[in-house]
Structure 1
Amino acid sequence: MNSKALLAALIGFDTTSRESNLQLIEFVRDYLARHEVPCELIFNGERSKANLFATIGAADRPGVVLSGHTDVVPVDGQPWTVPPFELSEKDGKLYGRGTADMKGYIACVLAAVPGLLAEPLRMPVHIALSYDEEVGCLGVRSLLAELEQRPHKPALCIIGEPTELKPVLGHKGKLAMRCDVHGAACHSAYAPQGVNAIEYAADLIGELGRIGAGLRAEHLQDPRFDPPFTTVQAGLIGGGKALNIVPADCRFDFEIRTLPDQNAHDVAQRLQHYAQQQVLPKMQAVDAASDISFSELSSYPGLATDAHSDAANLIAQCCDSSEFTTVAFGTEGGLFDAIGIPTVVCGPGSMDQGHKPDEFVSVAQLAACDRMLERLTWALRE
C-alpha cells in the first residue's frame, strides 16, 4: 500500500482522544505482521488504548525512532464540508481529521516499511505510535518508561508533527494547572459577611497577569521563539450560583508555556506563594474555613536539541536542509529528550491546518515525506 492508501485507512478510524485507538493499532499491527515485522503493544490500565512499538532490523543496538501519535482532536461544532473520517481529495489536497496532525506522517512511515526491510540497516528503525497526545502527552509516558529500562535505548527520534518538513529542534514546554478557591456564601445584601470566591479568584488571575508581564523582560527572552518569552494565561473559569448569593466557590484553569530553559513549576509556585501569603489570610480573616488549592492537569517539557547532534545531522541529510527552526506548539519530543533520546520534529503538512475544520495535507507534502523517508533508509544502509 502506498502512503495515500494507508492514510485513507487511518483516517477511517475515529481516534478522537475520548475514543479508543485500538482499531487503528490493530490495523497497524496486522499490516506489520504481513511484512513479518514484530511489534508489541503497551496498554493503558483499562486496556482501552495502546501504544505500539515495532522494530525493523537488529534490536541489539541503538536505533532511530519514527514516532507519531494516533489520537486526533474532536470535530464537534466545526463546519466541515467533507466527511471528517473519510479521506477526500480535491485540488491536490487530502482532507480528513488527522491528515496533517498527524496521520499523514504515520501513513508515510508505514509505506516506508517494505523499503526498510529490503536494505541491510546499520542501525534498527523503530516505529512508535502513542495515544492521548492531544490531552497532555499521556500515553507515550508508559512507552518511554519501557524504553528507558532496555539495554539498547534508541539513539535518536524523529517525531512527524506537521512542520512542512522543515526540521524543528525546539519548542516550548507546557504546564496546565487548576486553582480552586473556596470561600463562604451568604446573602448578597450582607456581602461583607461572606468570602466572595470569584473576587479572590480574580485577584489571583490578576497576579498571574503580572507574573506573565515580568516574564517578558528582555534578558529572559529567546529570539528563536514566537513569542520569544514564556507566556501565562487563564483559559477557563467558573463559579457562583445566583446573583444574590455571595459565591462560595470559584475554579479557574491556567497554563504556562515556557521557554526550554525555564521551569514552568517555578512560575506556578510564584502564584501559589502569592495565594498563601497575600490572598488566603484575607479570606480566613472572615471565615477560617476558606481555602485555596492548586492541582496539576497536565505537563510536558520543552525541547532544545543541539544543532550539532547526530539527530540534527541525520535529519538535515534527509531533508536536504540544515536550517533548523522552532515551533510554538508542543510535542512529545521533550519527553523523549528527557530520557536521553535526542529528538527532531519534522513531518508533512502544516499546523495551520491542524485542529481546524476541513483539515488537510497536500499530496505534494505526502510525496515529499515519502522521499525524506527513502533518504533516511539510504542513510542507514550498512
Structure 2
Amino acid sequence: MTNALVPTARDILARLIAFDTTSRNSNLQLIAWVEDYLGQHGVTSTRVVNDDASKANLYASVGPAVEGGIILSGHSDVVPVDGQDWQSDPWTVTERDGLLHGRGTCDMKGFIALALAAVPLFKNGAKPVHLAFSYDEEIGCLGAPAMIDDMAAKLPKPALAIIGEPTMMKVITGHKGITVHEVEILGHEAHSSLTHLGLSANMVAVELMHDLAELARNLWENADPASPFIPPHATLTIGRMEGGTAANILARRAHFVFDLRCPPGVDPEVILAPFKTKIAALDGEMRGAFPEAGVTVTRLSNAPPMTPAGSAEAEAFVRRLTGDNGPSGVVSYAAEAGQFQQAGFATVICGPGSIEQAHQPNEYLALEQFARGADFMVRLAEALA
C-alpha cells in the first residue's frame, strides 16, 4: 500500500512546490488547489483568513465527526530563495541521486503532500484526521493561532496534534520559543561633515546592534550545561538591517529585525528588559535634540516553546507508528507545536527530512524519508480504522 501512496504524494508535492508561497507572497493559490483536491474526495474545508484576506489557513476533517481524532499540521509558506545558488529551479521538484530538490520539499510541503495523499485512507477511519495548514510560520508563527482557536472551538476534541516539521521521523517533545522584534530609528539629516547639526540613525543602530551582540555573547557564556538543546542557551541573531541614503548624508532612518529563541522556562522579556530600558532613555534624548527623531522597538511575534508536559500518551502513540524507540528529543528551532500545546492539545513533532536541509540552497527531501513518511500515514490510517 505504501508503494501506491508514494507516487500520488510525489504528484501532489510537485503541485505544492510549484506555488511560490514565500512568506512575503499570498498563499491563496495553494490553498485553493488544496480545497479543490479535498473537495474531489468529498471533504469540506474551512478557511481562516488574515486581516486583509490575502492569506489563509485551511483546516479540514477527514472521517467521522467524533472525538479522539488526530491533527496533522504543517505550514504552507517557505523561506526566500533570493541570493541562493540553486542548481535547479527551486519551484520544480527535481530528483537527483535519490533526493527530491525544491524549495519546501523538506520544510515542509513534503509532509503536507503525504497527508493529502492519504486522504482516501483516512476517510475510512473510525476516528477522524484533522488536516491543518497555516500561513506565515516562517516569519514568527503568525498565522496558526487564529486557526487553532477556531479548531478548538468547533471540532470534536482531538486526541493529539502531530506537527510535521522535519525530524527524520523521530519523535520530538520540546522546542524553543521565538520572539521577533523590529527596531526603528529616526535621525536628523545633515551633511556628514557637520555632525553637530544632525543625528545619524545608522550610528544609533550600530550602537544598539552592538548591545545585542554583547547580549548574545553573554547568553552563550552563561549557557546551562544541563540543557538538552543544541545550542543549549537562548540565541539572539539580527536577521535584517538597512539604513541611510548616501555616504555623505547623516542617515535619517535605519531599522533592523532580530529574533530571540528561548528554551522553555526562559522568559524573553526578562532577557530584553535592559535593552528596552536603554531604548526608552535613548528615545527621550533623541527627541530632546530633534523632535522628529527617536527610536522604537516593536514585537512582531511571540511563539511559545513546547515542553514534554502532557504529551506522554501522544508520544507513545506516534512512537508505535514510527517504530522510534530512542530517547525523546528536542529541537532548537521554533514551531507551531507550542501554540497547539498552549491551546490544550497534546502535541509532538514528527516529520520526514532533516532541519539541516531547511532554508538552504538546493533544499531536498530524501526519497527514503519520503517513503518513511508514507509508511507513517498508512500506519496512522490503520490505527484509526
TM value normalised by structure 2: 0.88
Does 2:362 match 1:334?
no
2: CA distance, partners of 1:342 / 1:171: 14
Q: How far apart in 1 are the matches of 2:18 and 2:49?
A: 22
In structure 2, distance between residues paired with 1:325 and 1:229: 16
- 2:298 is the alignment partner of 1:292: no
Q: Which residue in 2 is equivalent to 1:126?
A: 130
Query: In 2, distance between residues paired with 1:151 and 1:8?
Result: 31
Contact residue 194 and residue 286 of structure 1 kept, 8 A: no
Match of 1:21 in 2: 27
Please tell me whether the aligned partners of residues 222 and 229 of structure 1 are also in contact (alpha carbons under 8 angstroms).
no
Residue in structure 2 matched with residue 350 of structure 1 by the alignment: 354
- CA shift in 2, pair 1:188/1:358, >3 Å: closer
> Structure 1, residues 188-229: CA drift from partner, whole Å, max 9, x if none?
444345434333333322322333334346475652111100
Q: Where does residue 232 of structure 1 map in the other structure?
A: 236
Instruction: Note the aligned Cα RMSD (angstroms).
Output: 2.5
Unpaired runs of at least 5, structure 2: none
What is the CA–CA distance in structure 2 between the aligned matches of 1:6 and 1:185, rounded to whole Å?
Answer: 53
Question: AA paired with 2:233?
Answer: F
The range that moved more, 358-367 or 196-205, is: 196-205
Cα drift, residue 365 of structure 1: 0.9
Alignment of 1:92-103 (within 5 A): 92-103=98-109
User: Corresponding residue for 1:166?
Assistant: 170
CA distance in 2, matches of 1:60, 1:370: 25
**What CA distance in whole angstroms lies between the structure 2 residues aligned with 1:135 and 1:287?**
34
SS in 2 for 1:195: coil
- Does residue 117 of structure 1 match 2:120? no
Is 1:5 the counterpart of 2:11? The answer is: yes
Q: Offset at 1:79? A: 2.6
Name the SS of the counterpart of 2:167 in structure 1. coil
Report sequence identity in percent: 38
Alignment of 1:116-265 (within 5 A): 116-119=122-125, 121=126, 123-150=127-154, 152-216=156-220, 218=222, 220=224, 223-265=227-269
Aligned residues: 378
**Quick check: 89-98 or 360-369, which moved more?**
89-98
| 2-structure distance, mates of 1:60, 1:93 | 39
Of the three residues 315, 320, 339, the one matched with 2:318 is 315
Q: How many angstroms apart in 2 are the aligned matches of 1:21 and 1:185?
A: 40
2-structure distance, mates of 1:303, 1:214: 24
Moved more, 3-12 or 180-189: 180-189
Contact 2:310 2:346 in 1 (8 A): no
Deviations 1:292-321 (A, max 9, x none): 211122332221133852221111111111
* Native 8 Å contact 1:96 1:359 kept in 2: yes
Q: Residues 62 and 130 of structure 2 are in contact (CA less than 8 Å); yes or no, is this contact kept in structure 1? A: yes
Mapped pair 1:32 → 2:35: no
Cα deviation code 1:328-350 (max 9, x no counterpart):
22211111111111221111111
Counterpart residue number, 1:364: 368
Unaligned runs of 5+ in 1: none
Distance 1:265 1:44 in 2: 27
Aligned residue type for 2:234: T
2: CA distance, partners of 1:224 / 1:285 = 47
Deviates more, 1:199-208 or 1:346-355: 199-208
CA distance 1:22–1:206, shift in 2 (3 Å): closer
Give distance in 2, aligned partners of 1:155 and 1:108. 21
CA 1:238–1:220: 2 relative to 1, 3 Å: same
Counterpart-to-counterpart distance in 1, 2:254 and 2:54: 34
Cα separation, 2, equivalents of 1:284 and 1:204: 17
Helix, strand or coil: the match of 1:82?
coil
- SS of 2:317 mapped into structure 1: helix
The answer to whether 1:301 aligns with 2:301 is no
Q: In terms of mean alpha carbon deviation, does 102-111 or 281-290 score higher?
A: 281-290
Q: Does structure 1 retain, via aligned residues, the 8 Å contact 2:311–2:347?
A: no
- 1:271 shift after superposition: 0.7
